[in-house]
């Protein structure tokens, strides 16, 4: 079985490079398969719940900006 497109999900930790290196090695063995990298952010409104009202807009904006710059 050969791969044409490899989707790599990363969590942006310092160890993310290990999975990227593995994906590159697999792509090289599969006629230079295309690699796509994905990272998702869960909206904070869903991550935190409970009875304590919080405005998480500024924190969400900071997380979004960080993800764009990484």
∠ CA 5-70-34, rounded to 5°: 10
pLDDT at 39: 87
pLDDT at 46: 58
All structural domains of the chain with their residue ranges = 1-39, 43-70
For the whole prediction, is pTM greater than 0.85?
Answer: no
Question: Residue 25 — φ and ψ, nearest 5°?
Answer: -60, -40
Close Cβ partners of 38 (under 8 Å, ≥ 6 residues apart):
7, 8, 9, 10
Task: Give Cα separations from 6 to 16, 40, 43, 44, 49 (angstroms).
Answer: 15, 17, 26, 29, 35
pLDDT at 44: 64
- Tens-digit pLDDT profile for residues 21-51: 999 999 999 998 999 999 887 766 655 556 6
């Amino acid at each position: 079985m050969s791969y044409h497109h490899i989707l790599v999900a990363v969590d942006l930790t310092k160890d993310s490079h290990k999975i990227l290196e593995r994906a590159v090695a697999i792509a090289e063995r599969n006629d230079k398969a295309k690699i796509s990298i994905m990272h998702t952010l869960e909206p904070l409104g869903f991550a935190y719940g409970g009875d304590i009202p919080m405005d998480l807009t500024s924190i969400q904006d900071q997380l979004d900006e960080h993800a764009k710059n990484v």
